[in-house]
Structure 1
Amino acid sequence: MQVIWAEQALLPEGWAEHVRIEIAADGRIASVTARAPREGQAHAVILPAPANLHSHAFQRAMAGLTEARGPAVGDSFWTWRQLMFRFLDRLDPDHVEAIAAYVQMQMLEAGYACNVEFHYLHHRPGGLPYDDLSEMSSRIAAASARTGIGLTLLPVLYQYGGCDGRPLAPGQIRFGNDPDRFARLVQGAETALRCLPADARLGIAPHSLRAVSPEGLAAAVAMARGPIHMHLAEQQAEVDEVMAAHGARPVRWLLDHAPVDQDWCLIHCTQMQPDETQGLARSGAVAGLCPITESSLGDGIFDGLRWQAAGGRFGIGSDSNIRISLSEELRTLEYSQRLRDRGRALLARPGASTGRVLFQCAAQGGAQAAGRLAGELRAGLWADMLALDGAAVDLAGLRGDSVLDAWIFAGDDRMVLDVWSAGRHLVSGGRHRDHDAITAGYARVMQQTRDML
């Protein structure tokens, strides 16, 4: 039994002082008691640690390498995607495991307790499967075993190069499966997760309406025994392609043809009309927002105010992992709303500041999207927690919501001192317990791959 004590902690009902948290041997919170005497490990501020609900780990190794304009008149998501395809064509399983471990370590040091990995790099260069069909899934699981982060693994079904059913292009061939082979891959991924603690989860991810047929989507949904994630309405060209092929915009088609509910997480949703925003919010699905990547790729701005007004839930992911920063994702989300609507504190609610709304929504929505019993400091849930540095100059003396506002809008993730994932104390003093060795392994991979772009 671990005992954690906090001068102040954010509980489901609001802020409380002198909070004693007991963590049971199985990694769950055994009890939470406010106004308790000081004992155990003492911290200034304890918060529920969110899940990072959308990641493509391997893309971290190309962060910062795609900022030069290409020969095309206009650079865009689509030209970036071609660079990504060229890069991944040389990555082998050892590379992927080392990159994933580094990404997961950075997530933990940023304050995330869980990695939801949207995993589509399945096969060898050229598309030939590995002898173990789920080799790459096993490497993501091995990285999680090393870093200790909670893992929700989402093997991705990717069938086609577009809505017209055209074959996968050379850069996509490593992703491809038909539903039957995908079912076998999912079984192998489930086996790979057995080496991990009990909080690991398996989900399903039909990639997008561009990459799966309606029949493939139905087959993937039928396999699901947990979370279902899917890219949706990210780019205008995608909207136009789906409209031409299916006679409806992506969100409307999905709501009309799939059993979208609280098990679903739809990623990006930056190209929605008002009625689509309201309809998707009412379905109970989580909007998986990745503001740093969406800014980097010029995707557009999520309609956060309309989503919030319709009762929608959202969570935060690092997607391309160009920068892994929990506080910056939240700040960028709010600032995008301000830039579009020319206002301030737009996502705040009566009685809850902007920082509090952003953080609590990300924690609760991320847990739902991960299929993880977490997101709050409450008995019976996994002990996913983070401690902030109360002595940081921008946090010193602050109470309640002001702590979150200062961290998100005036500070950065250097204020994160400690992180627990399902009770595993993985970050202390701002550093992961295996920081140096994981970083060295990643550096070796980078030396081998810098010439790939």
Structure 2
Amino acid sequence: MEKIWAERALLPDGWAENVCVTVDRGRIAAVEAGVTGGAAVPLLLPALANLHSHAFQRAMAGLSEARGPEPRDTFWTWRQIMYRFLDHLTPDDVESIAALVQMEMLEAGYATNVEFHYLHHRPGGGHYDNIAEMAERIAAAAARSGIGLTLLPVHYQFGGVDRRALAPGQNRFGTTPEEFLRLVEGAETALSALPADAGIGIAPHSLRAVSPEGLAECVALRPGRPLHMHLAEQVPEIEEISAAYGRRPVEWLLDNHSPDRRWTLIHLTHMTEDETRRLAATGAVAGLCPITESSLGDGIFNGTIWTQAGGRYGFGSDSNIRISLVEELRTLEYSQRLRDRGRAILATPERSTGRVLYQAGLDGGATAAGRETGAIAPGLWADLVAIDRANPVLAGRRGDQMLDSLVFAGHDGLVRDVWAAGRHVVQGGRHMDHDRIIADYLATIARLQDRM
């Protein structure tokens, strides 16, 4: 049993001073305000879940910024670079890269990694002896980093909605329905070696890559666990789905399924106003990745209408080109400001912009992770982040102003401590295994360069 003392903390009913949080076996056992005791952290917040990550892509950050042979560089030209890059990755590489990504998430203030895991097979598509070999490596990285893990094995059947064969760069992803079931079972076995807060989810990749029958099978698999899918990210994707199914992707999903709180739909960049309102009303989470969406030129999420309709959302780092919790929140709000030419777009009369963004991320992230977290309250996992208020960014700030300053003026280094299900994995701003994880990653990159 551990006690965490905080000078100020964000509790479910608002800000409190002199708070003691008692942690027992990874969960919050008690929360008391107005008491003093041991050495206190300056500011204690619930920690967010990072709801969408492709860990291996962290190692290709910076490799796709030169102009290619096409007249216009887009998501689709970036994807070809990614396909060429991943063909060099071994299981050892993936484990090392995932450990770095998870460490960087923790040092940024996330407590949970929701890993949308689709790199399954050998280069060329041949299976490893254990079909869940790569899933085991993600779990092994989590055992080392101490992060909370929700692992989402990805079902990827086809190279397009016309059911064409997988392209050479996609062969490492491919699964038949039977193979996908074995993959999920193998991933569950890998997770059984982790602490009790680790969990499984199901991820049909997209309407382009999974047939309607395959999607229905995914929905029926592991009911009650999170289900994630890319949806409406790119205009050519919308055009392809519309031509094949006679409906835009969001329309087709709403007409053929009943998305609810179990569902997290990634990006949702291109929706009509009617689609936005209808989907928001279902309770499904919009999985937003503003840094990656900016990097890839996806477009701007329809955040104003989504939130007006009561829509829920959370944040992920997707390509992991930059892992920064505060920048994800900031980039979402700034994208709305640029489009609508206003300020404090997502704020409400009762709550400031930073408070709205942070609490939305808590709610959406917890739901997307299928994890009992998202608040400093008894019974929930002790996913907590302590912020350094001695930094000039937070000087003199109180209440919601602290979150506003954190989100809109914050930077790397403000996170002081992080607990993931009670595991005190970041102390004094550094991960407990920071140096060795960095050394392993650097050695991995050196080996990769020799092979590329």
The reply to whether TM is greater than 0.5 is: yes
Q: Which of 129, 138, 141 in structure 2 is aligned with 1:140? A: 138
Aligned length: 451
1:16 and 2:26 correspond:
no
Q: Shift of residue 40 of structure 1?
A: 3.1
1:28 maps to what in 2?
Answer: 27
Q: Shift of residue 448 of structure 1?
A: 1.9
Length-normalised TM-score, structure 1? 0.98
Q: Which of 75, 81, 84 in structure 1 is aligned with 2:82? A: 84
SS at 1:161 equivalent: coil
Mapped to 2, the partners of 1:89 and 1:23 lie a distance apart of 44
1:118 and 2:84 correspond:
no
1:47 maps to what in 2?
Answer: 45
- Deviations 1:75-132 (Å, cap 9, x if unpaired)? 0000000000000011010000000000000000000000000000000001011000
How has the CA–CA distance of structure 1 residues 72 and 452 changed in structure 2, closer, same or farther, with 3 Å as cutoff? farther
- Deviations 1:286-344 (Å, cap 9, x if unpaired)? 00000000000000110111111111110000000000000000000000000000000
SS at 1:373 equivalent: coil
1:224-303 residue pairs with structure 2 within 5 A?
Answer: 224-225=222-223, 226-303=225-302
1:327-366 residue pairs with structure 2 within 5 A?
Answer: 327-366=326-365
1:182 and 2:143 correspond:
no
Structure 2 counterpart of 1:82, one-letter code: Q
Structure 1 counterpart of 2:86, one-letter code: L
Structure 1 counterpart of 2:370, one-letter code: G
Mapped to 2, the partners of 1:208 and 1:283 lie a distance apart of 19
1:367 maps to what in 2?
Answer: 366
Q: Extract unaligned runs of 5+ from structure 1.
A: none
Question: Does the 8 A contact of 1:326 with 1:413 survive in 2?
Answer: no
Q: Which of 97, 103, 114 in structure 1 is aligned with 2:101? A: 103
Mapped to 1, the partners of 2:434 and 2:39 lie a distance apart of 22
Structure 2 counterpart of 1:273, one-letter code: T
- Deviations 1:347-379 (Å, cap 9, x if unpaired)? 111121100110011011100100000011111
Question: Does the 8 A contact of 1:111 with 1:413 survive in 2?
Answer: no
Mapped to 2, the partners of 1:288 and 1:165 lie a distance apart of 26
1:66 maps to what in 2?
Answer: 64
Q: Shift of residue 397 of structure 1?
A: 2.5
Q: Shift of residue 7 of structure 1?
A: 1.1
Structure 2 counterpart of 1:394, one-letter code: V
Mapped to 1, the partners of 2:449 and 2:14 lie a distance apart of 47
- Deviations 1:212-246 (Å, cap 9, x if unpaired)? 00001011111133000000000000000000011
Q: Shift of residue 413 of structure 1?
A: 2.9
Moved more, 255-264 or 157-166: 255-264
Q: Shift of residue 259 of structure 1?
A: 2.6
Q: Shift of residue 6 of structure 1?
A: 1.1
2:2 maps to what in 1?
Answer: 2
Q: Shift of residue 452 of structure 1?
A: 6.6
Mapped to 2, the partners of 1:161 and 1:450 lie a distance apart of 29
Structure 2 counterpart of 1:386, one-letter code: V
SS at 1:414 equivalent: coil
Mapped to 1, the partners of 2:231 and 2:174 lie a distance apart of 19
Q: Which of 151, 156, 160 in structure 1 is aligned with 2:158? A: 160
1:310-329 residue pairs with structure 2 within 5 A?
Answer: 310-329=309-328
Q: Shift of residue 13 of structure 1?
A: 1.2
1:422 maps to what in 2?
Answer: 421
Mapped to 2, the partners of 1:391 and 1:280 lie a distance apart of 42
How has the CA–CA distance of structure 1 residues 137 and 411 changed in structure 2, closer, same or farther, with 3 Å as cutoff? same
Aligned-pair identity in percent equals: 67
Question: Does the 8 A contact of 1:2 with 1:40 survive in 2?
Answer: no
SS at 2:57 equivalent: helix
Mapped to 2, the partners of 1:271 and 1:224 lie a distance apart of 29
Mapped to 2, the partners of 1:204 and 1:375 lie a distance apart of 21
Q: Shift of residue 258 of structure 1?
A: 1.8
Length-normalised TM-score, structure 2? 0.99
Structure 2 counterpart of 1:203, one-letter code: G
Question: Does the 8 A contact of 1:417 with 1:428 survive in 2?
Answer: yes
- Deviations 1:124-183 (Å, cap 9, x if unpaired)? 001011000100000000000000000000000000000000000000000001111110
Mapped to 2, the partners of 1:447 and 1:345 lie a distance apart of 45
Please tell me the root mean square deviation across aligned C-alpha atoms, in Å: 0.9
Mapped to 2, the partners of 1:299 and 1:101 lie a distance apart of 28
SS at 2:437 equivalent: helix
SS at 1:195 equivalent: coil
Q: Structure 1: which 4+ aligned runs deviate by more than 6 Å? A: none
Structure 1 counterpart of 2:5, one-letter code: W
- Deviations 1:261-305 (Å, cap 9, x if unpaired)? 100000000000011111111111100000000000000110111
Mapped to 2, the partners of 1:422 and 1:64 lie a distance apart of 33
Q: Which of 91, 94, 118 in structure 2 is aligned with 1:93? A: 91
Mapped to 1, the partners of 2:89 and 2:261 lie a distance apart of 35
Structure 1 counterpart of 2:390, one-letter code: A
Mapped to 1, the partners of 2:398 and 2:451 lie a distance apart of 49
1:448 and 2:447 correspond:
yes
1:378 maps to what in 2?
Answer: 377
Question: Does the 8 A contact of 1:126 with 1:173 survive in 2?
Answer: yes
- Deviations 1:25-81 (Å, cap 9, x if unpaired)? x100011111112x2341110000000000000000000111001010000000000
